[in-house]
Amino acid sequence: MEQLRIKEEGPVVLSGSFVDKSYLYYLADMMKISDSKDVNNALSQIFLRLGYTDKDTIRFKSVPKDAWDMVRIIFEVNGKENIDVKFHRRYGKDVLGLSLTDSKGDNYGYQCRVSENDGEFTADVYLKGYHVGKDKNLVICERGFDGVNYVFFSADDATQGKLKQQLTLNVECSVEEAFENRDNGVYYSPRNEAQLIEYLRNISYPVDLCSVYNGICDISFDDVSSLVEFNLNVVTENKTKGFNDREVTDQILFKRGKLERFGLLHEGKVEDCTMDNRGFSVIFIGNGYIEYKTVAANGGFTSSEVDYVDCERSAISTSCVREVAEKLIDMFPERCDEMFKGRYQRDDALSCEQISMFDQEKVYKKKD
């Protein structure tokens, strides 16, 4: 077994004594390096960018697959744990993709570029996404030049006796920033991303979406209107016989600075409707329209879209609609006209209360 330490700051990479060396030729081709004997040199620099140091020893353990478009290698790190690494061409024939699964089962996806200059190798490694955790503790991230998508799942101990939920945040940056990212070969990430992820993975369930929105903005965004899209939503699961019914129940959606959807879930039985229920979701979608979803007591959801809610609609909880409308006014008072579209009249006062939501004339007036 040959030991190669090309750069002092890089980890030691030990080649395996395999008879078939074709995997080295495939890797050299993917890395765009001229000599397959230098693959370990390049790997040392890649592992360096992944956080390993010159104190680590990384040994080839097995090569379960070797082909022109994908090479899978099991590496042993410091004689203690294994990492499963797939080198692939899924991002294009001129781009080296790398998928790493660690000993805990967490998976990280990277895009890599290897450079060679007078026998010396360097590597640039960009995190494209990851799946971290298991079951209800799973966190998923997928990146692109123009944005990022995060998915967080409620932990089992947070949902005892409650509806299970999934929080998703999708951000698309400005067109100018996306072009700049593409030119520089880097993926988009919001400001203070590590702090943002730590905040979101520790929120309480059921989700208080307005509080979460404020927390996200405090950490990462001064003004979401500068983004092409900001979509924060909650998918709620209500089990029924034979399958799990899932619906978007809470949402704050901005597109190019315009609030297009605002909705919240009222969890828990309400009495001012005729349907047997576990709660209601109300989402304002603009122009006075709402999407209304009943969390059915026997499982699943019933959905409808209405442009006017009055006391004659016995299957709709007017108290839940009022609750969400008041929250919208608290959160985004300057957006109410475009969302309610003349259904409501408001004083210019900063503090308002709703006195009549379901009469013909809908009025907000200043609190005493």
Residue 254 clears pLDDT 80, i.e. is over it:
yes
pLDDT in tens, 323-334: 898 899 999 988
Look over the chain and give the mean of its residue pLDDT values, rounded to a whole number. 83
Which H/E stretch holds residue 83? strand 81-88
Domain boundaries, the chain: 1-126
Q: What is the pLDDT of residue 19?
A: 56
Residue 7 clears pLDDT 50, i.e. is over it:
no
| Residue-wise DSSP of 304-346 | EEES---TT-TTS-HHHHHHHHHHHHHH-GGGHHHHHTTSEEE
pLDDT in tens, 265-304: 988 888 877 778 888 899 999 887 889 888 888 888 887 7
The region of weakest confidence among 64-78, 132-146, 156-170 is 156-170
Residue 160 clears pLDDT 70, i.e. is over it:
no
Question: What are residue 122's phi and psi, to 5 degrees?
Answer: -130, 160
Residue 122 clears pLDDT 80, i.e. is over it:
yes
Amino acid residing at 120: E
Residue 2 clears pLDDT 80, i.e. is over it:
no
Q: What is the pLDDT of residue 140?
A: 92
pLDDT in tens, 313-352: 567 778 888 889 889 999 998 888 888 876 644 444 433 4
Q: What is the pLDDT of residue 243?
A: 66
- Residue 205 and residue 157: Cα distance in Å, rounded? 10
Q: Is 132 helix (H, G, I), strand (E, B) or coil?
A: strand
Residue 359 clears pLDDT 60, i.e. is over it:
no
Mean pLDDT computed over 9-33:
83
Which residues neighbour 355 within 8 Å (Cβ) at sequence distance 6 or greater? 363, 364, 365
Task: Kindly report the number of other CB atoms within 10 A of residue 362's CB atom.
Answer: 18
Residue 312 clears pLDDT 80, i.e. is over it:
no
Which residues neighbour 208 within 8 Å (Cβ) at sequence distance 6 or greater? none
Q: What is the pLDDT of residue 138?
A: 81
Q: How confident is the model at residue 18 (pLDDT cuts 50, 70, 90)?
A: low
Q: What is the pLDDT of residue 314?
A: 65
Q: How confident is the model at residue 224 (pLDDT cuts 50, 70, 90)?
A: very high
Q: What is the pLDDT of residue 158?
A: 45
- Rounded to whole angstroms, the maximal C-alpha distance in the chain is 86
Q: What is the pLDDT of residue 313?
A: 58
Q: What is the pLDDT of residue 272?
A: 77
- Residue 293 and residue 83: Cα distance in Å, rounded? 45
Residue 210 clears pLDDT 50, i.e. is over it:
yes
- Of the candidates 360, 263, 264, 355, the residue with the CA atom closest to the CA atom of residue 312: 360
